[in-house]
Amino acid sequence: MYKLSPFSYTFNKSGKAQKIFLENTLEFNRNETIAISGPSGGGKSTFLKVLKGIIPEYSSGTLEGEITFEGRPLTGINFQENLKKILYLFQNPFSQLIYPTTEEEFLFSMENFNFTREEMNIQKEKFEKLFGLKNIWGKKTSQLSNGECQKLVLSSMLAIGPEVLLLDEPTAFLDPESRAEFYNFLKIIKGERLLIIVDHHLEEIKPLINRMIEVDSNGKISESSLNKLKIKKIQSIDLPILQVEKNLQIDMENVSYTYHKNIPLLKDVNATFLSGEVIAIKGANGAGKSTLFKLISGIVNPDSGKIVTKFSNKEFVNNKNFHNVGFIFQNPENHFFFDTIGEELKQSFKNTSIDILKDDLLKRFFKDIDLQKSPFLLSEGEKRRLSILMTVFLGKSIFLYDEPTFGQDQESIEQITALIRELKKHGLVQIMISHDDSLIYDVADRVLVLKDGGLNEIPRT
């Protein structure tokens, strides 16, 4: 289906910012399942955009070399003809939403390709069962969790029946059960079409794939193998003493919150979080985990009950606690306001004068970072790491991480893990929402599960 002759893609015409390149011819055949591996920020998503034809069709960069699909270039009139054949799931699913309601969003692609009402109903029933979509019908797309959004966008694409699926971190926001269901679905459709997947759960997808393609840290594309993967040993992070509140305690007292159709999302939640703890919050997509964080941070107030933060003989109730909280949002772009990375970091640096903290963490989290680059042009994994560092530099006493390892390669996960462990030594309250069981096992002191509106502690396994 694809023939990739040696090519290179650069972001500007000077050729000084080379992003990805191929030195040997590659062919991708129908019925293959191919995994794309490599470090965060290396160019995996850029490679998928080349395979879709978005690059160079909608790119200001320069693509040199020849890439064909079914014997024809991917650009011009061929790009339009391939819209139904080649479908691309973006790493950030919210960037693909068009309509304000979930039903409209699901049906849009099928309507665009003239599916009959009967065909649309059959597909809706099929994917409603597969991805558990019944609970999201009637919601506004702006109210979806990232996991719900990912399932909605993915199902609307699969319903069309494409010949090629380009999947960029398709399970990044899915809970373990939903991720297992999705991988089982891939087993069913494997061989029916060409599947090309960027996924950091490499051991889980290993039984599904026929081939591995690597995009290394320099942007070089080459044939690879799962057996070549190595995890670099990460040294611990040693930070100077941070000026944060000690002996801090957060009490959630009978907290309830209703979000959609008068159905309680949280019901009489009680919990206590203490200085020096790392607490993991687990739960299915849409259970209310992100809403719980909004309540703890004071972005929204509970319908009943209260959240009390105590330290230094002071108490802050509900939204009065906002200035103590560093909230790492699920969508890292929510952190960005300025034109360059340097400007973003400068605002965070105002709260710390410790230069070694800035320099050491920047070098650890980024191989090479251009401070004049827009933060919106980073890879999704790089955006996440930048949002974490910006929050660290703010000097808050409470950290709320919403999926901290989303979009990260294993080395970056190890760096984030080392940072969480170091912040624990300094007495911060750290609460994280995560579907990454390995991370939870490595750093969490306690694990709480949000289910049916209640929050309950479970044994750490």
DSSP, residue by residue, 13-41: TTS-SEEEEE-S-EEE-TT-EEEEE--TT
Residue 378 lies in a domain: yes
- Domain termination residue (choose one: 196, 228, 260): 228
**Domain carrying residue 344:** 249-458
Do both 43 and 145 map to the same domain? yes
Do both 39 and 88 map to the same domain? yes
Long-range contacts (CB closer than 8 Å, 24 or more residues apart) made by 443-447:
443/278, 443/280, 443/417, 444/278, 444/279, 444/280, 445/277, 445/278, 445/279, 446/277, 446/279, 446/280, 447/279, 447/280, 447/282
Residue 242 lies in a domain: no
Do both 316 and 278 map to the same domain? yes
d(CA 98, CA 302): 31
CATH number at residue 7: 3.40.50.300
The number of distinct structural domains making up the chain is: 2
d(CA 341, CA 457): 39
Do both 50 and 187 map to the same domain? yes
d(CA 435, CA 433): 7
Q: Which residues, in sequence order, are CB contacts of 356 under 8 Å at separation 6+?
A: 240
Do both 148 and 7 map to the same domain? yes
Do both 204 and 319 map to the same domain? no
Q: Could you tell me the strand order of the sheet in which 249-260 lies? A: 263-274, 249-260, 304-311, 314-317
Residue 235 lies in a domain: no
Render each residue's pLDDT in the chain as its tens digit; 461 residues: 999 999 999 876 544 566 899 999 999 998 899 999 888 888 899 999 999 999 988 887 889 999 999 999 998 899 988 988 999 988 778 888 899 999 999 999 899 889 999 999 999 998 888 888 888 898 889 888 777 888 898 889 889 989 999 999 888 777 777 788 778 878 877 888 899 999 877 777 888 888 999 999 889 999 987 665 555 556 677 776 666 667 889 999 999 998 766 778 899 999 999 999 999 999 888 888 989 999 998 888 899 999 998 887 788 887 666 778 899 988 888 899 999 998 888 887 765 555 545 677 788 888 778 888 899 988 888 899 999 988 888 878 899 999 998 888 888 888 899 999 989 988 899 999 998 888 898 899 999 999 988 999 988 76
Do both 219 and 281 map to the same domain? no
Residue 236 lies in a domain: no
Do both 312 and 413 map to the same domain? yes
- What pLDDT does residue 15 have? 47
Q: What are phi and psi of 161, to 5 degrees?
A: 80, 55
Kindly report the pTM of this predicted structure: 0.72
Do both 174 and 41 map to the same domain? yes
